[in-house]
Amino acid sequence: MKKKIFISLAVTSFLLFVNLAHAQQTGKVARIGYLDPSTASGNAVLLDAFRQELSKLGWLEGKNIVIEYRFAEQKNERLPEHAADLVRLKVDLIVVTGTAPALAAKSATTSSPIVMIGASGPVAAGLIDSLARPGRNVTGLASLAVELNTKRLEILKDAVPKLSYVGLVRRPGGGIGTGEDVQLKEIRSAASALQLKLEAIASQPDAKGLENAFQTARQKQVKAIVTTTNRQFFAERKRIVDLANKSRLPAIYFQKEFVDEGGLMSYGVDYDDLYRKTAHYVDQILKGSKPADLPVQQATKVEFVINLKAAKQIGLTLSPEFLARANQVVK
């Protein structure tokens, strides 16, 4: 009897081993493309949130998924080449950060699924038919980049007594899906309604460009700073914050990560939340869902963060009433 039990256990163990080996050999490893216009280091904190959420859903990088990263290193003209490269690799889907990468990916493929993170105006850009029914190979999350620019100016005016002259640091207009001209139009309109004079300062998202931009801001004697919303400026957030603080210019930014780097205040979408939600789109598509059937979600989580230490550094006093409006006050 003992001999029969031993033989039975041995056979069972052998079959289990064979089945596991077969599963490892035939189990498909999903390949995800990731296309971003900026830099790997500049987006590391958000990528961590994306990967963490994927792991919670059972997708582990290096085990059952491989992520092919492509960063344009602040040069949008490289996006089409990177998008075509990901298509050649036959990735299962492409995650894109913003409108410009989404347009590049859409031009490269009409069949591979594309998941957007924070694209601005995806319907107007021709990426999808509608939010509820994308209708194509593109889905994901839309940002409120343009819509929140007006609110940021309002907050900045409330923060700085008698503010009349604001510098707007922006990317040069033109190029694939930059959205800079749309944002400039919106901010100009908002500034006029708030009786603010606006000085638009074009800047490349690199050390020399940004230093020149803030030098121009000082020469023009603007009294506060805002920037347009784009991934390139986000990647250079520490440099931008340092330049604004050194120039003693009050500034409001479009993401809380600027405040994490010592910035004065931010009002914008919680991108950490967007990246985590993106992981769920990826999960659904890898499990068989079609992008055309997955409604595009608008960003809904908006937060206002103030840094009192930065305010003290530039000599700005903020009233208790103003501070009470913030979701978070960093001391």
Residue 315 has pLDDT above 80, yes or no: yes
pLDDT band at 178 (very low <50, low <70, confident <90, very high): low
pLDDT reported for residue 325: 97
Q: Which architecture does CATH list for 145-269+303-330?
A: 3-Layer(aba) Sandwich (3.40)
Mean pLDDT, rounded, for 195-209: 96
State yes or no: pLDDT of 4 exceeds 90: no
Residue 85 has pLDDT above 60, yes or no: yes
Q: What is the pLDDT of residues 275-301, one digit of tens each?
A: 999 999 999 999 999 999 999 999 989
- In tens, the pLDDT along 228-283 reads 999 999 999 999 999 999 999 999 999 999 999 999 999 999 999 999 999 999 99
Compute the average pLDDT of residues 93-114. 96
Residue 1 has pLDDT above 70, yes or no: no
> What is the tens place of the pLDDT at every residue in 26-84?
468 999 999 999 999 999 999 999 999 999 999 999 999 999 999 999 999 999 999 99
Does the structure show a pLDDT above 80 at 104? yes
- pLDDT (0 to 100) of residue 65: 98
Per-residue pLDDT at 17 exceeds 70: no
pLDDT number for residue 105: 98
The pLDDT score that the predictor gives to residue 5 is 40
How confident is residue 9, by pLDDT bands cut at 50, 70 and 90?
Answer: very low
- pLDDT at residue 145, as a whole number: 72
* pLDDT of amino acid 6: 42
The structural domains of the chain, with segments of one domain joined by +, span: 11-15+23-143+271-301, 145-269+303-330
Identical fold between 11-15+23-143+271-301 and 145-269+303-330: yes
CATH class of 11-15+23-143+271-301: alpha beta
Which two structure tokens, joined as six digits, stand for 95? 């995650």
Predicted pLDDT of residue 177: 52
What pLDDT score does 120 carry?
Answer: 87
Q: In this predicted structure, what is the pLDDT of residue 174?
A: 54
**pLDDT tens, residue by residue, 121-173:** 899 899 999 999 999 999 999 988 778 999 999 999 999 989 999 999 999 87
Asked whether the predicted pLDDT for residue 20 surpasses 80, the reply is: no
Q: 107 phi and psi, to 5 degrees?
A: -70, -25
The residues near 205 (Cβ < 8 Å, ≥ 6 apart) are 38, 74, 171, 230, 232, 233, 235, 236
